[in-house]
Amino acid sequence: MVSVSQSDTGADVAPPRCPRCGHPVAWAANPARPFCSIGCQLIDLGDWLDERYRLPGPPVGASPPAELEALEPTRGGDSDPKSPRGA
């Protein structure tokens, strides 16, 4: 009955481009997306592993973040009345 035009479903939009090499990326069924190929994906991964990319945040290493200490429950060994000691 009604034929849906394919022209306004994204066909006119330029395809996404590989952030590594800038080539157009085939998005569907592309296991390496947003990269154009596994090669570009691995090169980018290597840059992350070499610490060429950094995310903003507090410096790591001096002391654990406070939220991690808050998640750790304080346990006194003998204060639990349900512990089966003395059985």
Query: Which residues of this chain interact with Zn ion, rule CB under 5 A?
Result: 18, 20-21, 36, 40
Instruction: Give the C-alpha separation, 50 to 3, whole Å.
Output: 52
- With beta carbons less than 8 A apart as the criterion, state whether 7 and 19 touch: no
CB of 30 to Zn ion, least distance (A): 11
Query: Which residue, 43 or 65, has its beta carbon nearer to Zn ion?
Result: 43
Query: Which residue, 38 or 64, has its beta carbon nearer to Zn ion?
Result: 38
CB of 34 to Zn ion, least distance (A): 9
Q: Give bridge partners of residue 17 from the DSSP assignment.
A: 24
Amino acid code (one letter) for 68: L
